[in-house]
Amino acid sequence: MIQLHEDYILFETSTGESIPCSAELVAVGLIGKDGSSEDLELVKQAAAAVLHYFKHDLGRNSVSLADFSMALGGILAEFGVKLKDDAPEDRDMIEVYDLRELAQLSGKSFELAFFPHLRDELRKRLSGAPPVLQFNGLRPCVKQLLGAKRWSTRCQDLNDQIVDYLRQCLTLEDRPSSCGVIVK
């Protein structure tokens, strides 16, 4: 398993998935973008304290968004800062796209059409500045592009090529520095 950055924790979603995200990003989402700069700095510091509490004091690597926001809300209430009434749900944190849709769009052109479509889709998704962008269905997508019924070394090569291509595109794109990308 890949080790998380020290400023990140796994947020448990209602679907049972765990999404790595920075506590600061979630905290800013909970307070809203219209807060004052003093409030924003206080929220960042409080989020760091709550992250430390869950990771070091409780020894947890993951936490539900509800538990995190409740702990953060308790701290911020002491300082007179209120969380938004419409706190983000886990579905607001993650933008999901199914790679099988791109494979179907590519039709008979296979990889020749797939990679340009993938880059366009990545640009489109990043323009919305989601905290986490998740691409699902990599294995079925690869099998569909290759017309394979079983996983093979050829499938693994294309799988690796798609992941490498996404990495290259992400380094070239103008994206929010706090946006996480998951490919599964």
Measure the CA–CA gap between 161 and 157, rounded to whole angstroms.
6
The pLDDT of 175-184, averaged and rounded, is 68
Q: For position 149, what pLDDT does the model report?
A: 92
| Digit-coded pLDDT (tens) for 5-62 | 777 777 777 677 777 777 777 666 665 555 555 667 787 788 888 888 888 888 888 8
Measure the CA–CA gap between 142 and 129, rounded to whole angstroms.
27
| Digit-coded pLDDT (tens) for 64-74 | 877 877 888 78
| Digit-coded pLDDT (tens) for 123-177 | 888 877 677 778 888 999 999 998 899 999 999 999 999 989 988 888 887 665 5
User: Which residue carries 């020749």 as its tokens?
Assistant: 112
What own/partner pairs with CB < 8 Å and gap ≥ 24 does 136-140 have?
136/96, 136/97, 136/98, 136/99, 136/184, 137/98, 137/99, 137/100, 137/184, 138/99, 138/162, 138/163, 138/183, 138/184, 140/99, 140/100, 140/103
